[in-house]
Amino acid sequence: MKKTLLVLLTAVILFSLFAVVASAEEANESIADVQLDWHPENAVANLKYMGLGMLGIFVVVGVVMGLTYFLNAVTGKKK
């Protein structure tokens, strides 16, 4: 169980790291150039994107866990 959690944590950390690097390269702008505007009316519209992002995270975590359990079942020691 500890190995599964370690693999899952490693996958989440690597995925997060790649996402941050990709977004930084795509933006090509420094933090000082970003202008933050306050539009509270857009909060409800953005819930869709937040839900899709969370769904994507759960799917990736589920796939990693499934692959881990499968590989453990195939290559694990028989009792």
- pLDDT tens track for 1-38: 778 888 888 888 877 776 765 665 555 656 566 677 78
The pTM assigned to this predicted structure is 0.47
Q: What's the pLDDT score for residue 26?
A: 57
- Please indicate, yes or no, if residue 38 is contained in any of the structural domains: no
Distances, alpha carbon 46 to alpha carbons 1, 3, 39, 41, 70, in Å:
36, 36, 11, 10, 36
**Tokens at residue 17, please?**
């790291």
Q: What's the pLDDT score for residue 27?
A: 59
Cβ distance 15 to 64 under 8 Å? no
pLDDT in tens, 63-72: 999 999 999 9
Q: How many domains does the chain have?
A: 1
Domain, as residue range, for 6: 1-25+45-79
Alpha-carbon distance of 12 to 59, in angstroms, equals 12
